[in-house]
Every structure is written in structure tokens, then in C-alpha cells.
Amino acid sequence: MSAKKTAAESRSATKPVAKPAKTASPKDEPIIPPAQCSPVENLKEDIRRHMFAFLGKDITRASIHDYYKAVAYTMRERMAEHWIRTQRSYYDESAKRVYYLSLEFLVGRSLKNNVLCLGMEDQVREALTQMGQDYEEISETEWDAGLGNGGLGRLASCYLDSLATLNIPAYGYGIRYEYGIFHQSIQDGWQVERPDNWLRFGNPWEYDRAGYLYPVQFGGEVRTYTDDQNRLRAVWEGGEKVMAMAYDMMVPGYENGNVINMRLWSAKSSRDFDLEFFNSGAYLRAIEDKAKSENISKVLYPTDNFVEGQELRLKQQYFFVAATFQDITRRHLKHHQGFEDLPKLVAVQLNDTHPAIAIPELMRILLDDHLLPWDKAWEICVGTFAYTNHTVMPEALEHWPVDLMARVLPRHMQIIFEINRRFLDEVRKLYPGDDDRLSRLSLIGEDFGKRVRMANLAVLGSHSVNGVSALHSEILKASTFRDFAELFPERFNNKTNGITPRRWLRQCNPGLTSLIAEAIGPGFITKLERLEDLKPFAKDSEFRARWAKVKHRNKQRLAEYVLHKIDRKLDPDSLFDVQVKRIHEYKRQLLNVLHVISLYDDLRSGKLGHDIVPRTVLFGGKAAPGYRMAKLIIRLIHAVSDTIAREPKCNGLLNVAFLQNYCVSNAEKIIPGTELSEQISLAGTEASGTGNMKFALNGALTIGTLDGANIEIRERVGEDNFFLFGMTTPEVNELKARGYNPWEFYSKDDSLHRVLDLLASGHFSPLQPDLFRPIVDTLLHDGDRWMLLADFRSYVNAQKDVAKLYRSGDLWVEKSILNTAGMGYFSSDRAIAEYAKDIWGVEV
């Protein structure tokens, strides 16, 4: 297997394939006969019909949740008609299909988004009003579909929106978790996790596809033999089988009649009960085995710090990949003989390393089920797969113990060993005697016992490897995958992340959307680059006043929401300074807290007078259940918040709040009301970020480092409209090389000294003086890995610049307009168009 040859050959598979034309088809007769009444009357009749036929409810006694489900079924029916037409067009035109594989899809709520994309917002609102119901109130009853952990899953959902909007023949594949990301509540300042049973009232948006039920095998053993044509054959036998059942959720494009689907797999027992146990009286054992099989799709991300958790997580990954490839091959073989042309007809995008087991799975199908020779199977494999990496930190790259992989997936372990053997033989020819290089490139790491390096497997088995911001992609080539980039330079490319403007502007910020549309027309919803036309309006005093009015109205709405959720009053006339994202040390929420403490200390000591800009600092985000330091940071935020609330000198000048259970639906309320967006990770640690894009698109100014997509945002919105602080990535690396000593910064900065001493003294936890001692120890005695102390002074100075500009009023609004105007590049439509052209070979 020639490394150089494989890359070149696989590239030929990406020659653009024309998108299916939306031509009339003999199958294009209406799926549902058109009604004869007005659109609003039709809607009312359909809502009543679904209330009766689907819910079995008397509409005169229906609850608000009944109305939500009836409206959802009504919208689903309309989307299904579009979906059938869309699917017919794929088959009619023999379109190349794109399969987006992701272990996470952070969907959020669907009602408003689907109504919006169908172009039926006014009709639905009017129909419900005539029926005595409130559309906004009904939409609030929907439970978030939290099938993702954060940015990775939300990005996947944005990309499906753009795939549908751009008419790209595509499917999303993942897992239908019974319990999504946990529901977060706060008790005495501590995070408490509760199950997120998002399916408790059913999911009106999905279709269960019992006809698509596939067996997925685990364990067992591999038997080899030589067949009658003298070919070595492998048969994977025994073990256990779990059935994967498909559930489809429709994803509509924006007002284009195109609907694709997200197919999610749910685990079912291969038989309802094991009859042997049942007949022998072991009824409970039979039930236990059934429940154990179905655990695979029970919960998003089981903890993997013990063997059983690791095994379940690996099984989840293979479960959804195996079912997906049975579905892909079924669809492919309907109209095509064999797999020779698979890369010309199918593109599979791996969203991070979680689906990387798909590479040996496709090899297994081609080798064992269809008897292709190894070299041909590998060429097809590399030509089919593309890999998106989402992390710059080597320790975050996924790896599995070899003994676990061999026990759970014995045939795949054999295939991985053989891929590795052939690959390293080629590397030895290119770099004779370079054992260190062989060790770095190997698919098997041996630093902490033998482990399969899934990221290395993903890079080797894909014709394209992309990062998700310009900086991130450079770090991948220069550091994370340096040896691979030297071998396969043509594989590496950048695809900066993007967000859908449908949800993250049009839906969540209708006031701003209307103002922009009045100024430049409505075309920016699908052509976000047209926001550039907004720039001249930044100098228009009347337009600035209207812009400020919209922002203030959004702040009032956010304040009302926070009061309702956590009983905390926010002053809409204060600066809304917001950091909402997953709680993690590298995100540096702690740096934000240190600044808040410094403001508190200056206010109570009289160093700051009443001329200070009143500031509300809002936090939100979830800590992983087993991440003790992240949970302690949440506890600290609450302790600081309570202390500030008790300090008279802070009254009306400084307020801190933590909004619990951060999710897509409350992000849609927070982001439009934000004025200062905190994007403060250490340079060189954040792959991209998408929250930074959402805030800037909605007119927030960013305070941030030169990290991830911050760099490109700053370039696009203008350096003068971004509050930059902190070290650059080269400066970070240089300081680490010299030997970073956090004590130097602590000892020479009086404000930082006081802040850490307050923390260490128990000032914020008088009943538990040592409660926050681990935080101080992490910063001063354990090396301050994320270099908060090194960036503290620069951050504080940048915050002073924030306050100075905010005091100016009108100039802040001008820069807010310029931020929105500069964000056209960061549409998920642009990102998906680049994937289609450069990686998938699909014409947009």
C-alpha cells in the first residue's frame, strides 16, 4: 500500500458531481391532495384533525402541550411531503450522496425552526390566535432535543440545516439517545445532574422506521479458512447481536421545498427475551439481558473512567457506524452493481474521531462480505472517507485499549493491525531507521499500554483531513499531525466553522432581522455575505438609535427570562457581559471570575467610584459530571455572586448571575441580549468555537484572545471593533519553553495578589475556609496549565477599554453594527459549500 499513491488516487474521487436538477418527474404528483380552503383555515383544520386522530383529544379540553403536539404533527406532515419529493429526485438523478456521521446532534427545539423554514410563521401564528392560543407560549412547551454535549453537536445541526438549504443530497446519521445531555440544576451553589428524559412525552417530529432494523454484532471470535479459489477468508462468529432501529427526523431547507433527514439509531434487543432463560424460569435474567442490549442508546456519553463505561462508549460508536453502513450499502446496491465506483457516488464525512471505527467497518464489508482484494478495498475506503478534527490537544484525541477493542470488535482489531502493518512498511521505505517517526505514525500507541489511536486511523483512512479554523488547521499540520502532513500534504485543508443564520439570527432575533431587512433587503438570510451592505448604516444616527433600541428590548427580554428562571434581577441599563459555554478549565471561566473579584475588591475598597460602568456578568454552562475542578468553578461563581449581592458598595454597579441548564433554547434568548462576548481561551487551545460567531452576528462586541476562529472574526469585523488581549500562540509556546512560573505574575501584580489572597483566605466561603483552596493551588502550585496569571493583567486592561467605550454610548452602537456587518463569512452555508466543492465533489 503506497502512502503517496493512495492519496493521489483517492483525490480523483472528488471530481464534482452535478447536483440533481429540480426537474419535473412523473412521480411528482402531490403526495397529499391540496385543500380548497385558505391557508389559515387549512392549518386550523389540520391542527384539529391531528388533535383528534393522533392525540385522541377533545379540542375543547386540550392542554397547551396538546396544541404543541398537534401543530408539530401538522408541520411534520407538510415536511414529509417535501421529503418524499426530495428523495425521489435523488434516485431520478442518480445523485452523489453525502453522509454526515456524528455521535452528537444538538438539535434544540424544532417547532419554530421548522415553521420558519417552511415559510409558515405568519400563518401558524394567525391560525393559533384564531383558535385562542399563543404561538410563543406553545413553542416554549417543547423540550430541547439535547443529543449533544456542546459545540460539536450544535455544529452538526447547523450543517444539516445548510445541507438542506443548499439542496445537497445528504443524510445525517447518529444515535437516538433516550437520555440526552443531563439536566443541570443548582443546589447550594453546586451543580446537580438529573436525567434529561426528553422523550417522556414522545417526539412528534420523528418517524420510527421499524422496516429498517439491522443486526449489530459484538464479541465472538474470528475464524479463518482458505476458500475453493485459494483465498484467505475471515468469518466473524458468535458473540452477541443488538438490533439497530431507525428513527427519522426531518430537516427542512429554508423556503426551498427541500427536506432531508437525520436518521438516528435506537438499540433494541435481538429478541424480546432469551427464551432459554424464560422457559427455565429465569424471567428476571431474560429481562436483564434485554435491558443490557438496549443500554447502548440509553444515554449520551456514559462516563468512561472505568472498564464498563469504556466498553459501552466503544459499543455506541460501533453500533451507529455498523447500522449506518448497512443502510448506506442497502441504498447503494439498489441501483449499482458492486463498490468499484463508491467514492464517485458516496461521500462520508466523519465529524471528529467518534465515527472513525467506520474505516475498518467498511474494510470488513468489502473484504469479508464482498470479497474485494485488500488494495482495492483500501483505495475505495480512502476515497470515500473525509475526517474533520475538532481538537488541538493531543490528550483529547480518542484512543482505545487494544485488549478492549479485540474483545468487543475482534475482526476490526485484526483489520486495524493489518492496516498498520502495511502502512508502517511503506513508512520504513521512505524513512529508513527512523524508529521515532514510526512510533508517532503508528495506529497503535504504547505509551500507556497498547492503545488504538483513532485519530491516526482517521487521518490514514481519509482522503481529506480538515481543521475548523485557520489557526487550528495550521496547528494540525505543524504539530498534532505533523508526520502525517509531511506524508500526505494534499490531504490537509481548512474549513472554518459556520453557523446557520436561520436559527441564530432570523429565529432568535426577529427584531434585529427586521431592522436589517428594512435596510438591505431580506436576502441575507441565505446569502449572509450581503451583511457587508450594512456597513454604511453604522454612520447613520437614526439607524444607530433604532439598533440600540432593538438591543435594549432584547436585554429586557433576557432580564425577564433570568428573573423567571433563577429569581435574579438584572438591570437592562447595565453592560451585559456574558460567558456561556461548556465549563472547562481551558475555556477559562476562572479568568473571568478573577476579573469580577478584582472589580468587587476595588469597589468595596473605594478604588472605584460611582462613575464605574454598571456591569452584569452572566455565566452559564455545564460541567462534565466527573470533572471536579469544573464543578468547583461553578460553586465559586455562585459564592462570588452571593458575596457581591451582600456588598452595599456593589449595589447597582456589579451583578453576577449563573443561568442554570444552559441549552440551545436559552442560548436563543441570551445571545440577542448580550453586549460583550467573552471568548477568552488560551491562544492555541480552542479549535474554532461557534459561540463567538453567534454573539458577533447578533451585534455583541468580543473580548478575546488570538485563538480559534477569534482570529478570523477579528479580521472580518475590524481590529478596532474587537477587544484583544493575551499572548499569541508563539508567545505561549516560548513562555512554556523558558519555564512558566505563575509566582512571578502573582508577586508583581498587586491586584492579582489581592484576588488570590481573598480566594485563599475563605472570604467567599467563610463557613468552609478551604473550599476554594484547590483553585488557588492549581494556579500557584500546580503550574497554572492554562496560564491565567500570565494573561490576567492584559485581560484586566482590555476590560478597562470595554468600560471606556461603553461609556461613549453611540460609538459602542456603531461598532456593534460593524460586528454584525462583518460576519457574513461565518455562515454554515459558506462552510458547507466549501466542503461540497473541495472535499465531497458535489456541485452546489
Q: Which residues are catalytic?
A: 390, 581-582, 587, 690, 694
For residues 329 and 214, what is the distance between their CA atoms, to the nearest angstrom? 12
User: Dihedral (C-alpha) 788, 791, 796, 797: value to the nearest 10 degrees?
Assistant: 180
Provide the grid cell at 100.
454526515
Distance of CA 123 to the CA centre of its chain: 32
Q: Using the Cα atoms of residue 150, residue 151, residue 153 and residue 157 in order, give the sign of their dihedral.
A: positive
Of 126, 114, 93, 127, the C-alpha closest to 19 is 93
Question: For the residues of 353-407, what is the DSSP string, one character each?
Answer: STTTTHHHHHHHIIIIIS---HHHHHHHHHHHEEEE-----GGGS-EEEHHHHHH
Determine contact, residues 65/322, Cβ cutoff 8 Å. no
Strand ranges of the sheet holding 701-704, from the earlier edge strand across to the other edge: 654-659, 615-620, 575-580, 676-679, 701-704, 722-724
Kind and range of the H or E element at 426?
helix 410-430
Instruction: Say if residues 106 and 147 touch (Cβ distance below 8 Å).
Output: yes
Tell me the angle at which helices 773-780 and 628-646 cross, rounded to the nearest 10 degrees: 110
Cell of 361: 467497518
**What DSSP element (H or E) covers 580?**
strand 575-580
Residues 6+ apart with CB under 8 A from 293: 240, 242, 267, 268, 269, 270
- CB contact set of 489 (below 8 Å; sequence gap of 6+): none
Quick one: which of 7, 831, 10, 837 has its CA closest to 344? 10
**H or E, element range at 576:** strand 575-580
Residue 783, all three cell numbers:
503550574
- Distance, in Å, from the CA atom of 69 to the CA atom of 138, rounded to the nearest integer, reads 9
The CA dihedral of 74, 80, 83, 85, to the nearest 10 degrees, is -110
What is the gyration radius of the CA atoms in the chain, in angstroms? 28
Q: How far apart are CA 13 and CA 340, in angstroms?
A: 11
How far is C-alpha 400 from the geometric centre of its chain's CA atoms?
A: 23
Q: Which three cell numbers stand for residue 264?
A: 438516528
Q: Percentage helix, strand, coil, to 5, in the chain? A: 55, 15, 30
Which DSSP symbol is given to 212? E
Query: Measured over all CA atoms, what is the biggest interatomic distance in the chain, rounded to whole angstroms?
Result: 91
Of the candidates 723, 732, 689, 695, the one whose C-alpha atom is nearest the C-alpha of residue 709 is 689
- Could you identify the residue written with the cell 449489530? 216
The whole-angstrom separation of Cα 301 and Cα 177 is 10
Find the DSSP H helices in 647-764.
664-670, 691-697, 710-717, 729-738, 742-748, 750-761
Residues 6+ apart with CB under 8 A from 435: none
Strand 170-175 relative to strand 206-218, pairing:
unpaired
